[in-house]
Amino acid sequence: MNRSIRPVHPSPSWALAALLLLGCETTPPDGTPVDAGADVPTADAGSVPPTDAPAVDGGADVPTAACAPLASDYTPRAAMSSTDTWAACVSDRGEYVRFDMSTSSIARTTAFERIHLDAANGRSAGLFDPSRDPAPEEFTAARMVYLEPEGLDSRLVRRTDEHHPQPSPSNDCRMAGVVAANPDYCAGPARLLPIITASFRDGQLGTTGTPPRVLAARIEASLLWFFYLSVYKESLTCATATADCDSAWAYYTGGVQRGEARHAALSRYVLALEPATHDRIWDGILAVRCWRDLDRANPAADAVLRERARDQLDRALTRGVAVVLRSRLRAIARASAAEAPAHLAFVQVIAPLLDRVARARSAADADRLGSLLAVTDPRSLDADGAVATLDRLFPCP
Amino acid sequence: MRARPPGCRRPPARRPALAAALGLLSAGTAAHAQDLDSGTATVRNERGSAEARGRSSGEVTREELEERAPRSSPDALRFVPGVTIQQTAHGQASPFVRGLTGQQVLLLFDGVRMNTGVYRQGPNQYFFTVDAQSIERLEVVRGSASVRWGSDAIGGAVLATPREPTLDRARRGVTLHPGARLRYGTADAELGGRAELDAQLGRSVAVLVGGAYRDVGPLESSGPIRALATGRVPPVPYFEADGRTQRGTGFQEGTFDARAVVRLRHDLHAVAAVYGYRQYDAPRTDLCPPAYGSDRECLRYEEQFRTLAYAALRGNAGPRVRELDVVLSYQRSHERRRLDRPLSAATNGFVDDVDTLGLAVRAATARARLAGTPARPLTLRARYGVEAYRDGVASASWITFTDVGITRRYSRGQYVDGARMLQGGAWLEAELGYGPHLRVRAGARLAGAAASAAADPTSATQPVDTSALAGLGRAGIEWHPSAALALLANVDQGLRVPNLDDLTSRQQAGPGFQFENPALSPERSTTYELGARLRLAWLEVEAWGYAMTLGGAITRALRAAAECPAMTPQCAASWSRFQLINATGVSVVAGAEGSIRLQLPWGVSVVATAAYAWGEGPSTEAGVTARVPLSRRPPLNGTVEARWRHTGTGVYVGAAMRWAADQTRLAPSDLGDARIPLGGTPGYAVLDLRVGWRWRDHLRAGVSLENALDSPYRVHGSSINGPGRSLLFSLATRL
C-alpha cells in the first residue's frame, strides 16, 4: 500500500466524523458550552500553564551528537569556518550580516507571535495554547492579525514550494488556473490557505462542533509550514534579490542572531526542542548568506554553491520540522483528553510537509508514517511507532 | 478673473488663435484693439483667458473637446504642451504639469479650488471627476502660480471653465434648446450619453441643466509593453487570456449639473450652480490584482463622488470694481474603497469624506492712465483678492470576514477622523502698461494655513496642531517688439502648505507604505521662465524655457522598519516604507515646451508640440550626497495634429500623433513602484485618425480611429496601457 501523508482538509464532514469519534460534538471537553459570544477562553484543569515556549513535551529524546556535517557543509561554528571547504566569507564570524537593515518578513513572524501571545488582550498565551479552547472573538482578533495588509496572508496566498519543479508555461501562483493545476508547487494557496481560512471561519463561528483548540492547532501548523516554505523560497530568490537572503533568515529566526533571545516563529520551536538542530539550521542560513557573499553577481552566477548552501539549509530545516512534529506526537500521550486532539490536528496538518523527503529516503517508512498518523482518535495513535519512524527518516539535521 | 459674460460663445468657424492672428495681420500695428468692457487698451493677441495673460499656458476649447472626443477631462489635456496624463486606473487620471502632479498642481473649477486637504503625494484621480461634457474650456498655466491661486500651484494650475447657458438679451419669453449626446467606444465598450436643456426664461435668466451616464467596460490595449531593463512583461497591468484586455479596468459613471445665470445688470450676473460626479466600481488597476498578490484580489473604488455647489456674483460692480467675482462654495468629496480578498474570505473597507467650504473674492481696478500720450499711455491696473477654504475630514476603515459576516472597525482610517484644515490668503497683482509694446506685472500674496487632528493612541497616531504663514511674490515682463512677436520673462513663486494627507495619512502607496509626518513645513518654489511668441496669419510659434527651484520639497524618504510608527504592523511588513519629509537641499526642475501651429491653404492646419522636464533633488537617504532624479518625471514627449476642415460643408478630417521617448531616469522610489517597468518606461508613438461632420450648432457626428497602428504604449508612471486600435463614435444634437 502506498499510503502517503496527505494534508488534512478540515471539511465539515471530516470534522464531524472526528468529533463523533471523539465524542465531543457540541461541548468542549471541560464541559463548558461553546458560546459564540464568549470572550473568555476556557482552560483544562491540570494542563500546563501557558508559556511562550511551544506546546511540546520538552525536547527530543534522540541524541544528535552522532550526527556530523557533510563534507560539503559550511560550518562557521567550527573555528570560524576554517575547517570546511568554503572560502572565507562574511558569515564566518557566525553572525548573520544583513543586506538591508529593513526586512519586511520580520513583521510577519512578529504577527505570528502576536497571534501566539495575544499580547493585545493581555494574555501570555494566545490562540495556539492547546490547553484551552479559544473563544470566537480570539479567532476574530487573530484573523485580523493574520489578514493585516502586507501581513501573513499577503504572502501565504502566493507562497510556492520550491522543492517542486516550477510548472511551465506559467509558474505564477497568483493565477487561479496555475494554482489549481499545480497544488504542490503552489502550496500556499492550494494547501495552506484552505486550512487556515476554514479554521478561522469555524473558530469565529464557534458552532461547527470542532473544538476550537483543534482549529487553532491547524492554523498554527499551517503557518509553521508557511515559514518553512518561505525560508527555502527566499533562499532561492536571493539569487536575484539579495534582500531575500535576509528574508530567509528572518522567516526562520524572526530577525535575531543565533545567540539572541526572542527567537520567533519556527526557530522558537526548534530552539526550545533541539538546540543542536537549531544550530545546524543557523549554519544553513549562514551558508546561504556566505554563498551570496562569494557570488555577488546579480543575478547570482554560482548555482553549484547556491545549491550546496540551500541543500544544507533544507536538510537541517527538515529535521527541525521533524523535531516539532515528534514533540507533538509525544505530547499526545501525555495530554488531557481535551488537549490531545489539538496535538493530533497539528500533526496531521504538518506531517504531509515531510512526506516528499520521507518518501525519497524510504518509501516504506513514508507509507508507515502515513498509516500511523491516519487516525481520528488520538487515543488510537501509535505515537511511539510514529516517532520511531520519524527518527529513522530524519535522524540528523 | 473672467470677464466674459455668460453665453458669449466664440465664433465657431475659426480657431480663436487663428482669428487673432488673422486680425493681427490685417490690422498691422493696430492689433491692440480696445477692450470694450474697460475702454482701455488691451493686448488682444492672446489665446486663453486673462488668468493666464503673460504666462506660459495652453488651452483646450470646446470645439477641440468635441472633435477629439476625450475619455475624460484629464484626457482632454493630452495635446497641451508641457502636460502629460498619468493613469493609475482606467477611471482615474492625473495631469502632470511641467513634471509635477497631485498636490503640486492646483485644480480649479470655475475659479473654485478643487484641491482639498487630502490630495495626496503623487498622482490622484480627482480631475477625472470633472465631466468633460460640462466644460467649455480647459486652460493650463504652467509654472508656479501661487500668488494668484494660492497653495499647491507649484507646477502650475489647471483651470476648468464650465459651459454657460445661452443668455441672449434680444430674446423674450421662454426659449428652450434641448440637446443630447451619445458616445460609443469599442476599446472598452464604453456606451454613454448626456441629455441637457439650455433654457432662457425671459430676458435675464438662463439655465443649463444636464445629466449623463456611461458604462465603461474592460479596456483592451494593444498588448503588453516590455520593461527596458529586462525585456519582460511588467507585472502591472494584469492581462486576460487574450493578451490585450487589462484586468482592473472599467467603471460606471453618472454626472449631473445645473447652472442658473441671472443678469442683474448688463455687466453683472449672479450665478448658482451645482456639479455632481458619481463613479462606481472603478478598480485601481495596479491593485486589481496587485503585482504580487492573488489574481482574485482587487482594490476598487466603489464610490468616487464629488459634489460642488456654489453661488457667485460676477461682473463689474462699478467703475472702480471691475471683474468682481465673489464665490461662496461647498464641495463634498466622497471616496469609498473596497479591497476584495476572496481567497482569504475577507474584504477591507475604507471611506474618506471631505467637506470643503470656500469663500473667494476677486476683483480688478479699471485701467488707469498715469502718464504718456494717447498712443503710448502709461497705464496701471490692479487685481486683488482674498480667499479661504476650510476642510473637514471623516475617515474610517474596517475589515469584513465574508465567510462569517463579521465586521470589525479599525481605530483609524487613512486619515485621522475629524481632522481640519483652514487655508487662504490675500493677494494683489499690478500690471503696468506702456503703450502697446510693454507690460510689466508684479504681485504678492500673504498665505496662511492651519491644520489640526486629534491623537489616536490605539494606532499611535500623534496629534497635529500646526500653522504656517508665508509671503510670496511674482514679477513678469512682456515686450512686443513688433505686432507679431512677444518676448516674455517671468519669475513666479509657488507654495504648498502641508495638507492633511501629508500630516495624517497612512496608506499603501504605489512605492510602499507611507506614513505621516506631523512636523512638515511648507514647500516653496520659484519658477524662472523665458518665452517667445510669434503670431502670423499662417504661423504661430510659442516656446518657453524654464527652471524651477523647490526648497524644502515635501518628498518621500525611505524609512527603516524600526522607524515605523508603533501599532502599525503593515508598515514594517511592507517592502518599502516612506515618510514625507522636507528635503534639506534644493530640488530643481528644468525644461522647455513649445508649439508650432501652421495654417496651410485649403483649410489645413498642423499643430506640433514638444516638452521636456528634467528634475533632480537631494537624496533623502541618510549619508547619500549624490543628487537623484525626481520621481515620475515624464520623458521627452510631444504631439503632432493635422486637420482639414471644409467650412462650407462642416466636414473635418484629422490625424494626431502622440509620442514619448523612453524614460530611464528613475527616482529611488520609482524603483519599487510596480507601475514603472524595470529600467523605465519605453517610448511610443500613437496615431489617431478622426473624421466628422458638423451642421451648424445642431448636429455633430464624429468617428475616431484610436491607435491606428495598434501600438502597445503606456504613459510613464501609469498602471494601464493605452487603448489598442479601436473606434470611438460620437453623436450630438441640439435644437
- pLDDT tens, residue by residue, B570-626: 999 998 888 999 998 999 999 999 999 999 998 999 999 999 999 999 988 878 888
All three cell numbers of A79, joined, read: 573555528
The answer to the question of residue B680 being in a domain is: yes
The residue of chain B nearest to residue A195, with distances taken between CA atoms, is B344
Contact A157 B343 (CB under 8 A): yes
Residue B425 has a pLDDT of: 97
CA distance B617 to B586: 6
**pLDDT single digits (tens) A267-282:** 999 999 999 999 999 9
| Structural domains counted in chain B | 1
All three cell numbers of A317, joined, read: 530545516
Measured in angstroms, the CA of B572 and the nearest CA of chain A are apart by 6
The answer to the question of residue B1 being in a domain is: no
Element (H, E) at B65: helix B62-68
**pLDDT single digits (tens) A155-201:** 999 999 999 999 988 888 988 899 999 999 999 999 999 999 999 99
Residue A311 has a pLDDT of: 97
Buried b (16+ CB within 10 A) or exposed e, B379-409: bbbbbbbebbbbbbbebbbebbbbbbebeee
CA distance B277 to B129: 6
Give the mean model confidence (pLDDT) for residues B325-334: 98
Q: What is the mean pLDDT of chain A?
A: 85
Residue B509 has a pLDDT of: 77
The residue of chain B nearest to residue A144, with distances taken between CA atoms, is B399
Measured in angstroms, the CA of A58 and the nearest CA of chain B are apart by 32
Buried b (16+ CB within 10 A) or exposed e, A124-138: ebbbbbbbbbbbbbb
Measured in angstroms, the CA of A308 and the nearest CA of chain B are apart by 28
- Return the percentage of chain B with pLDDT > 90, whole number: 82
Count of CB atoms situated within 10 Å of the CB of B469: 12
Measured in angstroms, the CA of A340 and the nearest CA of chain B are apart by 27
ipTM of the complex model = 0.83
DSSP B541-566: EEEEEEEEEEET-EEEEE--GGGSPT
Residue A139 has a pLDDT of: 96
Residue B49 has a pLDDT of: 66
Q: Helices (H), strands (E): how many in chain B?
A: 6, 38
Of the candidates B406, B559, B570, which has its C-beta nearest A149's C-beta?
Answer: B570
CA distance A210 to A345: 11
- Residue with cell string 539572541: A260
In terms of C-beta density within 10 A (0-12 exposed, 13-18 middle, 19 or more buried), how is residue B28 classed?
Answer: exposed
CA distance A231 to B605: 64
CA distance A323 to A373: 16
CA distance A148 to B574: 11
Count of CB atoms situated within 10 Å of the CB of A31: 9
Beta-bridge mates of residue B196: B179, B210
DSSP code of residue A87: P
**pLDDT single digits (tens) B269-320:** 999 999 999 999 999 999 999 988 888 999 999 999 999 999 999 999 988 8
The yes-or-no verdict on residue A26 having pLDDT over 60 is: no
Chain B residues inside the 8 Å CB shell of A215: none
Question: Can you give the length of chain B in residues?
Answer: 735
Residue A118 has a pLDDT of: 64
A92-106, B4-18, B384-398, B538-552, range with the lowest pLDDT: B4-18
CA distance B480 to B487: 6
- Return the percentage of chain A with pLDDT > 90, whole number: 74
The answer to the question of residue B307 being in a domain is: yes
What dihedral do alpha carbons A41, A45, A48, A50 form, nearest 10°? 20
In terms of C-beta density within 10 A (0-12 exposed, 13-18 middle, 19 or more buried), how is residue B173 classed?
Answer: exposed
Give the mean model confidence (pLDDT) for residues A389-393: 94
Residue B716 has a pLDDT of: 96
Give the mean model confidence (pLDDT) for residues A250-257: 97
Asked whether B722 and B714 are in contact (CB, 8 A), the reply is: yes
Residue A2 has a pLDDT of: 43
The answer to the question of residue B8 being in a domain is: no
CA distance B170 to B256: 29
Chain A residues inside the 8 Å CB shell of B572: 102, 104, 106-107, 110
Asked whether B555 and B620 are in contact (CB, 8 A), the reply is: yes
The yes-or-no verdict on residue A53 having pLDDT over 70 is: no
Of the candidates B344, B345, B572, which has its C-beta nearest A104's C-beta?
Answer: B572
The answer to the question of residue B6 being in a domain is: no
Of the candidates B292, B399, B513, which has its C-beta nearest A158's C-beta?
Answer: B292
Chain B residues inside the 8 Å CB shell of A201: 345, 401, 403-404
Of the candidates A103, A107, A157, which has its C-beta nearest B294's C-beta?
Answer: A157
Chains A and B: how many Cβ contacts under 8 Å? 97
Give the ranges where chain A is alpha helix by DSSP (H): 12-22, 105-117, 136-146, 152-156, 176-181, 187, 193-205, 212-237, 243-253, 265-273, 275-294, 303-334, 340-361, 363-373, 383-393
B541 confidence band (pLDDT: 50, 70, 90): very high
A73-77, A305-309, B552-556, range with the lowest pLDDT: B552-556
Model's pTM, two decimal places?
0.87
The answer to the question of residue B139 being in a domain is: yes
The yes-or-no verdict on residue B702 having pLDDT over 90 is: yes
Count of CB atoms situated within 10 Å of the CB of A108: 31
Of the candidates B296, B344, B577, which has its C-beta nearest A147's C-beta?
Answer: B344
Which candidate, A111, A90, A344, places its Cα nearest to that of A217? A344
A64 confidence band (pLDDT: 50, 70, 90): low
B618 upstream amide cis, omega within 30 of 0: no
Q: How far is CA A115 from CA A47, A124, A273, B326, B702, in A?
A: 20, 11, 21, 58, 61
Backbone angles phi, psi at A223, to 5 degrees: -70, -35
In this structure, which amino acid lies at residue B727? L
Give the mean model confidence (pLDDT) for residues A17-35: 32
Do the bridges between strand B577-582 and strand B512-515 make them parallel or antiparallel, or are there none, so unpaired? parallel
All three cell numbers of B437, joined, read: 509694446
| Residues 6 or more apart in contact with residue B477 via CB below 8 angstroms | B438, B439, B440, B441, B488, B489, B490
All three cell numbers of B350, joined, read: 475604507
Measured in angstroms, the CA of A173 and the nearest CA of chain B are apart by 8
CA distance A122 to B132: 56
Chain A residues inside the 8 Å CB shell of B570: 107, 148-151
Measured in angstroms, the CA of A118 and the nearest CA of chain B are apart by 14
Domain that includes residue B253, residue range: 16-734
Of the candidates A103, A110, A143, which has its C-beta nearest B569's C-beta?
Answer: A110
Do the bridges between strand B485-496 and strand B464-479 make them parallel or antiparallel, or are there none, so unpaired? antiparallel
CA distance A184 to A164: 7
Chain B residues inside the 8 Å CB shell of A147: 341, 344, 346, 399
Helix A243-253 × helix A105-117 angle, to 10°: 10
**pLDDT single digits (tens) B659-672:** 999 999 999 888 88
Chain B residues inside the 8 Å CB shell of A254: none
Q: How far is CA A266 from CA A223, A314, B351, B435, in A?
A: 9, 13, 38, 83
CATH code of B274's domain: 2.40.170.20
Contact A151 B569 (CB under 8 A): yes
Asked whether B590 and B612 are in contact (CB, 8 A), the reply is: no
- Chain B residues whose C-beta is within 8 A of a chain A C-beta are 289, 292-297, 341, 343-346, 348, 399, 401, 403-404, 406, 408, 508, 513, 559-562, 569-570, 572-575, 577
**pLDDT single digits (tens) B75-107:** 999 999 999 999 999 999 999 999 999 999 999
In this structure, which amino acid lies at residue A304? V
Give the ranges where B218-355 is alpha helix by DSSP (H): none
